[in-house]
Amino acid sequence: MDVGRARKLRRNMTEAERRLWAGLRDRRLDRLKFRRQHQFGPYYVDFVCIEARLIVEADGSQHREETRAWYDYHRTKWFEKLGYRVVRFANGEILKRPAQVFEAIAAAARDNLKR
């Protein structure tokens, strides 16, 4: 595990990631524990709730590029094989409609907890 890289990622969060973290930290969303910039196998995820088996990703504009989209697709499939659900939100969506984003995250977590 590369703790140094995780620390660097936490120090250099985007504004969208900071906003998400403000709403997810300290069990603020449905009393669920989220971790940020967590290493998962060969990958780092923006946010993860182990209990709900939910990964939340904040995607910048580079994620619309074909090669990045292909990489994200395979990465998501890897997490799904482990039983995790991945939800992705564009940075602009997080910044412009945070209430809707947090409700979507809460709904996905509740759905996963029912399984």
Question: How confident is the model over 9-38, as pLDDT tens digits?
Answer: 556 689 999 999 999 999 999 999 999 999
Q: What is the pLDDT of residue 15?
A: 92
What strands, in cross-sheet order, belong to the sheet with 43-49?
35-40, 43-49, 54-59, 85-90
Q: Confirm or reject CATH 3.20.20.80 for domain 3-114, answering yes or no.
A: no
pLDDT band at 65 (very low <50, low <70, confident <90, very high): low
Find residue 89's DSSP bridge partners: 58
The more confidently predicted of residues 70 and 65 is 70
Question: Minimal CA–CA distance to 104: which of 18, 13, 24?
Answer: 24
Q: Is the dihedral of CA 39, 43, 45, 51 positive or negative?
A: negative
Cα–Cα dist 73/69, whole Å: 6
| Residue 8 scores a pLDDT above 70 | no
Q: What is the pLDDT of residue 59?
A: 85
Domain ranges of the chain: 3-114
Please tell me the pTM assigned to this model. 0.86
Q: What is the pLDDT of residue 114?
A: 84
Token duo for residue 64: 């619309």
